[in-house]
Structure formats: C-alpha cells, structure tokens
Structure 1
Amino acid sequence: MRLLIMGPQGVGKGTQAALLAEHYGIPAISTGDIFRANIKGKTELGLKVIAYTDKGELVPDELTNSIVKDRLAQDDTKNGWILDGYPRNAAQVEALDAMLEELGTPLDAVVALDADHDVLMARIAKRAEEQGRTDDTPDAIAKRLATYAKETAPLLDTYKSRGQLVAIDGVGEIDAIQKNIVEALDAR
C-alpha cells in the first residue's frame, strides 16, 4: 500500500503514520524526520534545512523532492510506504506524480487528518515542551499553519477529484483514530 498522510502541523500525522506503518508492514517516511536527523547530525543538508526551519519557512521544493525521490527508490519501499509531510504544494504533487510514474508505483490513497486551530496550537505547544523542538516557537507555528492553509490544504481537492482522498477527524483517542483510518482504507 502506498499512502500519503496529510493535514496541518500538530494533527497527529506522525503518530498515525507510525501506527499505519506497523499495521501494514511498510515504512513511514517523514520528510521532517529526515530533515531533523540531518540537523542533529550537523550534516550539510541539516545546515541548509535549519536556515529555513528556524524562520518557520518550508524547505525548498528542489531539495525536498530530491530527498523523497531517493527515499522512495530504496529497497524497503518495494511493498509500499506512507509519506508524511509531502507533498506540501502543487509543484510537489507534480514532482511526486512523475516519481511514481517513473518507479511504476501508483498512489493508493491519501489520508487527510483535520482538527480545529486551537487543538493544533495546544498539541504543538505540548510537543515543543516535551521534545524541545526549536522549530515549534509560536511565530514559527503560526507561519507553518498559515502556509498549510494556503498551499497544502488545496491539494486535498486534487486528491479528492482523483478518488484517492480518505478524510478522517484527527481529534479523539489515538487508537480510535487509527481504527477509523484502517477501516476506511480497507473498505476501498
């Protein structure tokens, strides 16, 4: 199964991606995790990424596309994958479509999680406190949520028109949300 998991920051994409990866026996691929690992390791990529994320900006498409393309070509993705945090804009949708065509691996579904703005802000503030994430400042959070609303949320219409969208309420108990996602995917 090849899935995208989409939704605003703080909606629980990473948590649900990990649970779905375990359930379906496929890797969860988070562009954010790849970026944070490189930042922590002080790699060349990490230094490029931190210049954007500390200002609440998204990493440029060219850099993100190349990382995703490389990751999707690795051996552990043969039976499927879950992409978390990508695509974020229309240009990335086009790049992903081209990658998947080149790899001969069509996308199966797009899981879209949603929650109210206040819920998202509270979750992100808690995550920043628990994980010490430097990219979760109030200003950076507000900027990322605004960017999501402007650039990423409209992509859901693209996937809806393709018949690939599975919309799920991201508020509630983690296990109940996962159950709703699995039931919706298995019913397709």
Structure 2
Amino acid sequence: MVAMTIAARRIPIQIPRKVMGRGRIREGQKTFIPIRLITAGVMPIVFAQTIIIVPGTVANFTKNPVLTDIASFFTPGELPYDIAFGVMVLLFSYFYTSIIFNSVDLSENLKKQGGFIPGVKPGAATADYIDQVLGRVTLPGALFLAAIAILPIVIAKKIGVQAVFGGTSVLIVVGVMLDTIAQVEGVALLAPRYSLPPEQGIMDILLLGPPGAGKGTQGEILARRLGLPRFATGDLLRDAVARRTPLGLRAKQVMEDGHLVGDDLILGVVREELGRPAAAEGVIFDGVVRTIPQAEGVAAILAEQRRKMDKVLFFDVSDAEILARLEKRRGVEGRADDDPAAVGRRLEAYRAQTAPVLAWYRDRGDVITIPAVGTVQEIAERVNAAVGV
C-alpha cells in the first residue's frame, strides 16, 4: 500500500547552461518530473461510490419496481456491482488524472525555461510524450485502486462480516500517515537551524557608554584588529547631515537639541547593515543601542540570523572627564553638539534613556566594564583583554 502510494515514474529533464549577461552563467541542471502511479489519490473511488449508489437511492425514493430491480443488481458483493465499481474506478482514475495533470502547460513552461526531455523535441512533442508516459503509469495505479476498493467488500461477504474497513479509508489513513512522516522529517531538518547554538566564528560586540567616553576611537581600533565592520550610527547620521538629505536635516535638529534619534530609524539601519555580506562574520556596534526597545529590536534581528550579542563593553568615565574631552574636541572639530549646554542635555538624555540599557544587558549576561580613563593605547589593551584577542 505504502509503496504503491509513493511510487512514481521519473521523467528526466535537462536544463542547459545559459549565459545571463555581465559574465554571469547559469550552470546546467539535471532534474526530473515525478509522475505517480496513483496521481488521482482516492478521488476515483469516491466518484465511483457516489455514482453506483444512485440507482438504489432513486429506487428508494420513487418505489419504482423497474428501478428496484436495477438496483438489486448493484448490491455490494454481487458480480455486477463489483464489475461496475471496478470499471468506474478505472475510468475516473484517467479522468481525474487528466484534470490535475496538464501536460501542455508543463511542456510550455519547460520550453520557456529552456528545459527539455532528452531525445524529445520541445513543445507539442514533449506534451505528447508526457501524455504517453502518464497513460502507461496510470493503468497499474488504477488497477490497484480498483482492487483496493473491491477486495474488502468481497472478503467481507465471504466471511459474513457486515461492517468492513473500506479501501478508501485505508488509502486515506496511509496518505495521512505519509504526510505526517514528511512533515516530521521536514521539522527535523529545520530544527538544527533554530535550535543549534549561534554560528561559531561570528562575533557581534556592542560598545556602551556616555557620549565622549571614547567608544568611537576604541571601536575603530577594535574593528581593525578583528577585521570586522564598525557600525556607528553617529557617523551614518552625520554623513546624512553633510549631504543635507531629509533624514540628515531631521537628525541635525535632533542632535543639536541634545536628543537621541528615534528607535524606528536606528533599527531600520541595523537590519540593513546586518544583511550585507561584510557583516556576515560580525559587527562592532558603536553607539547603536541607546534605548531598551532598541536593545530588544537588535536582539530580535540577531536571533533571526542565529546570532547574539557576544560581548557588551561598557566604557566607564566620569562626567568631568567627558566635559573636558568634548570641549577639546569642539575646539578641533567645531561640532555644535559638543557645546557645553548641548553636552549637558546629551548626558541627561543618556541617563534617562541609555543607562537603563546597561541594566537590561546585565540581566541577560555579563557586561564587561572598561575603565575609559588613560591613554588610547592603555584603553585599547583593556578592550583587547576583554574581547580575548
């Protein structure tokens, strides 16, 4: 039963090598068209059972003696019934198969893709060939269906059993069983994708700390040492400001006011960055996660790729040191958001929105605190030790 249900005739298909343009070449492929012995499933038996009970049903309603005599010939287990039932199963097998399997459409699709059956001309000749194979394959399947439909009835009559587990029920049970097995196998194949630990060799590192703590400088050093891209939201936004894009103009006003950019913008940029090939081995996130919704969003985006935040480095520095650093930077770069009043507002915004993110990460794993006071080289050595490089 199982073997006949899954048995199929494979028609070989050849898809030739094709030049796609710009030096791109689609390699040739070899595949096949599976034509099952029982393409129609249980539908031929269902149709035959529906038709064969019509005389008896009509006779019961009309009480017509002629129809009653005709219906008596179609009693389950009687020879006329068995012959008529078997013939109808055969006919409906071919009928239903021709409905659900359109060889003309199949041949046209193959022709559009450049595919062909070896030794057969594309187009109408291919459709005719498929029809021939389909006709030969359907016959043993139809005979099997007829036997499955009739044998339980014949056996039940011979042994005197009134109720019988019909052929349709057997085929349905087998079909459901095979579908269940296929689904379980599919889940088993996909399970490793979602249940295995994150991919080995990938390192995603988040740098946290107040503005002016040195995240940008240390992020660049760490990115060069690990060979990873550095994703700094601030740099991306400042570039947009310089190009006077709509987003840049909005970001300029937000930063000059000492506020932080919205979560939707940050998460959109993060998702785009992680989708690039350069980020496949990991990313240095510099100043990206500044709110708890952003932290949750970044964690969800990483989880989609079987990744997680491997290291969270917190650059610890006092407000006095920050003010001194940013005042010096303002004298060199002339940035409006390094004005003392703007710095004060940025620190207040940091304490209100970003500082809770540190607690969020600590609740989910270890956060490594980096004393961010000293020379650039000294701080870099502390970062390297924390990362393990």
User: Aligning the two structures, in what range does the TM-score lie when normalised by the shorter sequence?
Assistant: over 0.9
Residues in 1 aligned to 2:265 and 2:287: alpha-carbon distance in whole angstroms: 14
Q: Deviations over 1:70-121 (max 9, x none)?
A: 1121111111111111210111111111111122221101010011110000
Q: Which residue identity lines up with residue 62 of structure 1 in the other structure?
A: D
Any runs of at least 4 consecutive aligned residues in structure 1 with deviations exceeding 4 A, and if so which?
A: none
Paired residue total: 187
Residues in 1 aligned to 2:362 and 2:319: alpha-carbon distance in whole angstroms: 22
| Structure 1 counterpart of 2:206 | 4
| Structure 1 counterpart of 2:328 | 126
| Structure 2 counterpart of 1:46 | 248
User: Is the 1:56–1:143 contact (alpha carbons within 8 Å) kept by the matching residues of 2?
Assistant: yes
1:32-181 residue pairs with structure 2 within 5 A? 32-181=234-383
Residues in 2 aligned to 1:127 and 1:69: alpha-carbon distance in whole angstroms: 31
Q: Deviations over 1:36-93 (max 9, x none)?
A: 0000011122112112112111111111211121112111111111111121011111
Residues in 2 aligned to 1:74 and 1:136: alpha-carbon distance in whole angstroms: 32
Residues in 1 aligned to 2:236 and 2:352: alpha-carbon distance in whole angstroms: 24
* Residue segments in structure 2 that go unaligned for 5+ positions in a row: 1-202
* Residue segments in structure 1 that go unaligned for 5+ positions in a row: none
Residues in 1 aligned to 2:292 and 2:316: alpha-carbon distance in whole angstroms: 19
| Structure 1 counterpart of 2:231 | 29
Q: Which has the larger radius of gyration?
A: 2
More relative contact order, 1 or 2 (CA 8 Å, 6+ apart): 1
Q: Report SS of the residue matched to 1:107.
A: coil
TM-score, length of structure 1 as denominator length: 0.95
Cα shift at 1:131:
1.1
| Structure 2 counterpart of 1:184 | 386
RMSD, aligned α-carbons: 1.3
**Which structure shows the bigger proportion of residues in helix conformation?**
2
Q: Report SS of the residue matched to 2:307.
A: coil
Cα shift at 1:151:
1.6
Q: Deviations over 1:117-138 (max 9, x none)?
A: 1000010111111111122121
Q: Which residue identity lines up with residue 35 of structure 1 in the other structure?
A: L
Residues in 1 aligned to 2:321 and 2:366: alpha-carbon distance in whole angstroms: 26
Residues in 2 aligned to 1:10 and 1:54: alpha-carbon distance in whole angstroms: 15
Between 1:74-83 and 1:147-156, the stretch displaced more is: 147-156
User: Is the 1:3–1:81 contact (alpha carbons within 8 Å) kept by the matching residues of 2?
Assistant: yes
Q: Report SS of the residue matched to 1:156.
A: helix
Residues in 2 aligned to 1:151 and 1:132: alpha-carbon distance in whole angstroms: 26
- Aligned pair 1:16/2:225, yes or no? no
Residues in 2 aligned to 1:155 and 1:57: alpha-carbon distance in whole angstroms: 16
User: Is the 2:258–2:349 contact (alpha carbons within 8 Å) kept by the matching residues of 1?
Assistant: no
